[in-house]
Structure 1
Amino acid sequence: MSAASCLHTEDQFLCSVCLDVFTDPVSTPCGHNFCKTCITDHWDVKVPYDCPNCKEVFNTKPELKVNTFISEMVAQFRQSAQQEASSSSSEQQVSKPGEVPCDVCTGTKLKALKSCLVCLASYCKTHLEPHLTMSGLKRHQLMDPVENLEGRMCEKHDKLLELFCKNDQMCVCMMCTILDHKTHDVVPLREGYEGKKVELGNTEAEIQQMIQKRRLKLEEFKQSVELSKKNADREMAEGVQVFSALMETVERRLNNLMDTIKEKQRETEKQAEGFIKELQKEISELEKRSSEVKKLSQNEDHFHLLKNITSLNAAPPTKNWNGVRVHPPSYEGTVVRAVKQLEETLSEQMKKLFEAELKRVQQYEVDLTLDPDTAHPNLILSDDGKQVHHRDVRRNLPKNPERFSNYIIVIAKQSFSSGRFYFEVQVKGKVGWGLGVARESINRKGDITLTPQKGFWTIWLRNENEYRALADPPVDLSLQSDPEKVGVFVDYEEGLLSFYDVDAAALIYSFTGCSFTEKLYPYFCPYPNERGKNSAPLIISPVRHTE
C-alpha cells in the first residue's frame, strides 16, 4: 500500500472521539461511525443521546451493532500499516535506554520524534504523520519528546498544566485559576519559563563571579606562600652566613634559629593549605552547581524547567573570603635576637645584621601627624603636627572624649589595622619620653595603666638613664648608649612590635606574640619639661635611607 493510500485509509478509519483507528466500529442511525466503547462512554454521560459529529438527538438510546464491513476494512488497514511500519522501522532509529519511545509502536519501539500535549502520547516518524497532515490533529500542540506526559496533567482537575502561578511558584491548569488560584498572578507557561530562565542566567553569572573571586583568592594564597618561602629562604641564608663563621659552641643556637624559622614557614604553609583546600572544595561545589544550573537553563522544555527548578540543590554554603589573608610571618629580629646573646664576641657582626634589618623595616615607613584633638592640655603641637613638647601652663581646651585628661599623651591621626608600618622619632636632648602604639579603645580619662593588657605597648626613658619596656611585668633595658632617634616597627598580623636605636643600628626591645585586634595608633609622650631640663620636643622624623 502506498504512503498516500495508507494515509487516506487511516483518515477514513479514525474515530472522531478518541482520534485513533476504530476498535469494534459501530454506526449510529445518522450514519456516523465510532468505536463502540467511545460512543457508549459518550452516551453514559451525555443525555439526551446525540451524535458527537452532527449533533442529531435520539429520543432513545440507539441499539449498536458492530459494523462488520468497517471492521474488515480496519483489519486490512492495520495489517497494511503494520507492514509499512515494519519496513520504515529499518530506516528509523530504535529507541535506546534514556530515549523516549513511540507510544503507538507495537513490538520494537522506535524513537519518538515529537510528543503531543493533547493526546498525551509520543510518536515516531510514521505515527506522527496524522498530526502533520490531518486538519483536526494539526491543531494539537507538539513538542520535543518527553516521558511521563501524564505528569503534565493537573491531578486535581485532570486538565493540562498550561499556566504558571507566580504566587505559589507552581504549574497550574485553567480550572486552578478559577478556584484555588483565583486572585493569584498567573501567566502562561512560556512567560513563566522565560522569567525563570532569566533568573537562572543571573544565578549562573553570580556563581561564575563567586568562582572567579575564589580563584583569585586561591592565587593570592599561593603567592603568599611563595613570598613566605622566599623570605624564609633569605632569612635562613642570612642565618647560615652569620653562624657558619662561629665556633662549635654556637652551632646549637644556629639550629634553634633554623627550627624557629622553619616552624613559622610550616605554620604559614599549613594555614594556606587549609584555605586552599577549602577554596578548592568551594570551587568544586560551585562548579557542580553551575553545571546543574546551566543544564537546567539550557532545557527548552518549559514544563521540565519550571517543575524541576524548585528541586535544584540549594547553593552550597560558602565563606566570605574578602578579609581572609595568608600573612607571611615576619622574621625581623629573629636572627638579630639570637646573635645578640653572643654580642661580646659578635659585636661587629651584630652591627652589620642590625643595619641590614633596619633597612628592611624602614621600607614600611608611614607618614604620621599628631592629632591635636587627643593632646593633653599641657602639650604644645607644631603647626605641621610633627613635633610635641610639654609646658607647665595648662590650656583651656574642649573636653572632647578623644582627649587625654590626666596623662600627657598624644596619639597620631593615622591608625593601622593590618600589615606593617614603621616610623622614627627624634628623642635627642630629652631626659624623659615614651613611645609605642595604643589600641583604639584605650581609656583616655582618669588613671591609665600602660600595659599591653590595657592596650598600650610602649617603652620609656625617665630619670635620664632609666629605660624600661612597659610589659607585664616591666622589663628594665640596658642600653650601651642613649638613642637620639628611635625607630618603631609593627607587624600587625605577626603580633610584633620592635624598637630600634636608629643611629646605632641596634635593637632596643621587641614585644612578641601580641594580640592586635583593634586599630593601632602611634603613641607619644614627651614627659614633663622638668623646669626646662626636658623641654626638647619629640619630633616625627623622615627616614634617612642609606645605600
Structure 2
Amino acid sequence: MASSSSLLSEEQFLCSICLDVFTEPVTTSCGHNFCMACITKYWDSNDLCQCPLCQEKLSKQTKLRVNTTFREIIENYKLLRDTGKDESPAKPGKVHCDVEEKQKAVERQAEGLIKELEQEITELKRRSTELKQLSHTEDHLQLLQSFTSVVCTPPPTKDWSEISVHRAVRRAVSQLEETLNKEMEKLPEVKLKRIQQYAVDVTLDPDTANLFLILSDNGKQVRTGDTELNLPDNPKRFDRFTVLLGKNGFSSGRFYYEVTVKGKTRWDLGVARESTDRKGDITLSPEHGVWTMMLRDGNEYTACASPQIRLSLSEKPQKVGVFVDYEEGVVSFYNVEARSHIYSFTCCIFTEKIYPFFSPCSDDSGKNAAPLVISPVNHKY
C-alpha cells in the first residue's frame, strides 16, 4: 500500500492532457484517467479513437462516466491543499493543528478506501479466473448456470450502509465488476461463443457475381472458372474483378457468418456498402465502403485498411468468421477453429445497407481452384 506522503503527491492527481488537477475525472476501458473535457476534446480532434497514454483503440460510442470515487478523493485533496494555502503563516515552532488533523483524516480515509478496493479487486480476480475456466467447457447448460452464479451473485462485501463515504466505494466496486465483465467479453474464446448467437443464413447473390464466377445450386459455394459465362448484363454485377455479394443486406443490429477457406491461396472476405462501385476498378478500403481482409501467396494476410496492415497469424485459418455490429461500427474477423481474434475495424460509419462480400480470386492455374464455402455455424465449438 502507498505511504501517506505518496497518497497526497500532486502528480497522482494530474491529467496527462492538461497537466492540471483532474476536473470531472473519467476512466477509459484501458484503465487510464483524464478530465472529461480533455479526453472529449482529444477524441474530437483526432481521426483515431485511442488512449493518449497507451494508444489502445477505443470506441467513440463508449459513454464516459465520471469516476465518482476518484472525484471524491480529488476534492478532498483540493480541500486540504487550499486549506493549507489559506492559513496564515505559522509562527516559528507553532503547528497548524487543524490542517494537520484534516490531512491525517484524509490520509486515513484514502488508505481505508484503497484497502477495501484491494479486497474487492482480489475477489473480482478470483471470479475472473473462474470465468476463464468456465469458458473452456462444452456443456452450455453448465456454462450458463455457472456463469450466472459467478457473475450475478453479489461479492461478499462489508456492510457500508452506515458510512456515506463507503457508499462511494460500493459504487466503485460495482463499476469494477462491470469493467471485469467487459474485459471477459474480450477473451476470444468467450467472445466468439457469444458472437455466434448472431449467426445469419447467408446466400450468394448471382446477380452481383462476376461472369467468371461459378456458383453452386444452393448458393453456398463459389469458385473462379476459366471462361466467362454467357449471362445478361446486370447493373448490380461486378464486371472487372471476381467479386460477388450476399443476397441480403443489413441496416441495423448485429450479424455473423462463417466461410471455409481451406485449400485456397488467395481470397477476400468482409462486407461492403450497397453503393460500392461495381463497374471498373475496386479499391478495398473503408473510405470506398469496403471492410475486408485478404490472403495472398498462401500465407500473407492483410487487413485492407488505409494504409493496409500486414497481419501476423500464428495459425493459418481454415474457416473465417465475420462479425458486424452496425450500431457500434465494428467489423471483426475470427479464426473459427483456433477460437482466436484476427482483426477488427472499429469506429466504422455505416449509413446504408451493408452486404457480405466475397472474392475467391483467380484460380492461379489450378493452385487456387478450391471454392469459398459459406458454412453452417457450429455452436458446439
TM range (shorter): 0.5 to 0.7
Distance 1:259 1:358 in 2: 20
Distance 1:442 1:539 in 2: 23
Q: % of aligned pairs identical?
A: 56
Partner SS state of residue 264, structure 1: coil
Partner SS state of residue 206, structure 2: coil
Partner SS state of residue 195, structure 2: helix
Residue 381 of structure 1: how far off its partner (Å): 0.3
Matched AA of 2:309: V
Residue in 2 that maps onto 1:388:
222
Residue 402 of structure 1: how far off its partner (Å): 0.3
Distance 1:521 1:498 in 2: 14
Partner SS state of residue 333, structure 2: strand
Q: Mapping of 1:378-457 within 5 angstroms?
A: 378-457=212-291
Partner SS state of residue 194, structure 2: helix
How many residues are treated as equivalent by the alignment?
A: 218
Greater RCO, CA 8 A, separation 6+:
2
> Which residue of 472, 475, 482 corresponds with 2:316?
482
Residue in 1 that maps onto 2:198:
364
Note the alpha carbon deviations across 1:205-262, whole angstroms, 9 max, x for none.
xxxxxxxxxxxxxxxxxxxxxxxxxxxxxxx9xx9xxxxxxxxxxxxx9x98999699
> Which residue of 327, 337, 360 corresponds with 1:503?
337
Residue in 2 that maps onto 1:468:
302
Distance 2:222 2:334 in 1: 21
Label 1:542 to 1:445 Cα distance change in 2 as closer, same or farther (>3 A): same
Distance 1:478 1:336 in 2: 24
Note the alpha carbon deviations across 1:284-317, whole angstroms, 9 max, x for none.
xxxxxxxxxxxxxxxxxxxxxxxxxxxxxxxxxx
Partner SS state of residue 208, structure 2: coil
Q: Are 2:320 and 1:522 equivalent residues in the alignment?
A: no
Label 1:337 to 1:451 Cα distance change in 2 as closer, same or farther (>3 A): farther
Label 1:262 to 1:488 Cα distance change in 2 as closer, same or farther (>3 A): closer
Label 1:464 to 1:265 Cα distance change in 2 as closer, same or farther (>3 A): same
Label 1:256 to 1:463 Cα distance change in 2 as closer, same or farther (>3 A): closer
Label 1:261 to 1:455 Cα distance change in 2 as closer, same or farther (>3 A): closer
Matched AA of 1:425: V
Note the alpha carbon deviations across 1:417-437, whole angstroms, 9 max, x for none.
000000000001100010000
> Which residue of 208, 214, 218 corresponds with 1:374?
208
Note the alpha carbon deviations across 1:183-213, whole angstroms, 9 max, x for none.
xxxxxxxxxxxxxxxxxxxxxxxxxxxxxxx
Matched AA of 2:328: E
Residue 411 of structure 1: how far off its partner (Å): 0.3
Residue 266 of structure 1: how far off its partner (Å): 3.7
Matched AA of 2:209: A
Distance 1:449 1:427 in 2: 22
Q: Are 2:98 and 1:264 equivalent residues in the alignment?
A: no
Distance 1:259 1:459 in 2: 19
Instruction: Indicate if the aligned counterparts of 1:387 and 1:537 stay in contact, CA closer than 8 A.
Output: yes
Residue 399 of structure 1: how far off its partner (Å): 1.1
More helix per residue? 1
Residue 263 of structure 1: how far off its partner (Å): 8.5
Distance 1:462 1:502 in 2: 20
Partner SS state of residue 514, structure 1: coil
Residue in 1 that maps onto 2:372:
538
Partner SS state of residue 62, structure 2: helix
Note the alpha carbon deviations across 1:135-169, whole angstroms, 9 max, x for none.
xxxxxxxxxxxxxxxxxxxxxxxxxxxxxxxxxxx
Distance 1:262 1:515 in 2: 11
Matched AA of 1:516: F
> Which residue of 332, 346, 358 corresponds with 1:512?
346
Matched AA of 1:387: Q
Distance 1:258 1:378 in 2: 42
Label 1:458 to 1:260 Cα distance change in 2 as closer, same or farther (>3 A): closer
Instruction: Indicate if the aligned counterparts of 1:257 and 1:335 stay in contact, CA closer than 8 A.
Output: no
Residue 397 of structure 1: how far off its partner (Å): 1.3
Instruction: Indicate if the aligned counterparts of 2:271 and 2:290 stay in contact, CA closer than 8 A.
Output: yes
Structure 1-normalised TM-score?
A: 0.38
Instruction: Indicate if the aligned counterparts of 1:374 and 1:402 stay in contact, CA closer than 8 A.
Output: yes
Q: Which runs of 4+ in 1 moved over 3 A?
A: 255-263, 333-338
Label 1:266 to 1:546 Cα distance change in 2 as closer, same or farther (>3 A): same
Residue 395 of structure 1: how far off its partner (Å): 1.0
Q: Mapping of 1:295-374 within 5 angstroms?
A: 335=183, 353-374=187-208
Residue in 2 that maps onto 1:150:
none
Distance 1:468 1:367 in 2: 26
Instruction: Indicate if the aligned counterparts of 2:59 and 2:346 stay in contact, CA closer than 8 A.
Output: no
Residue 334 of structure 1: how far off its partner (Å): 6.9
Instruction: Determine which structure has more spread, i.e. the larger CA radius of gyration.
Output: 1
Matched AA of 1:264: T
Label 1:258 to 1:450 Cα distance change in 2 as closer, same or farther (>3 A): closer
Residue 532 of structure 1: how far off its partner (Å): 1.1
Instruction: Indicate if the aligned counterparts of 2:59 and 2:347 stay in contact, CA closer than 8 A.
Output: no
> Which residue of 453, 459, 471 corresponds with 2:293?
459
Label 1:495 to 1:396 Cα distance change in 2 as closer, same or farther (>3 A): same
Q: Give 5+ residue unaligned stretches, structure 1.
A: 1-235, 240-252, 268-330, 339-352
Instruction: Indicate if the aligned counterparts of 2:271 and 2:356 stay in contact, CA closer than 8 A.
Output: yes
Matched AA of 2:62: K
Distance 2:295 2:243 in 1: 15
Partner SS state of residue 198, structure 2: coil
Instruction: Indicate if the aligned counterparts of 1:257 and 1:334 stay in contact, CA closer than 8 A.
Output: no
Distance 1:436 1:424 in 2: 11
Distance 1:401 1:516 in 2: 23
Distance 1:362 1:257 in 2: 29
Label 1:258 to 1:379 Cα distance change in 2 as closer, same or farther (>3 A): closer
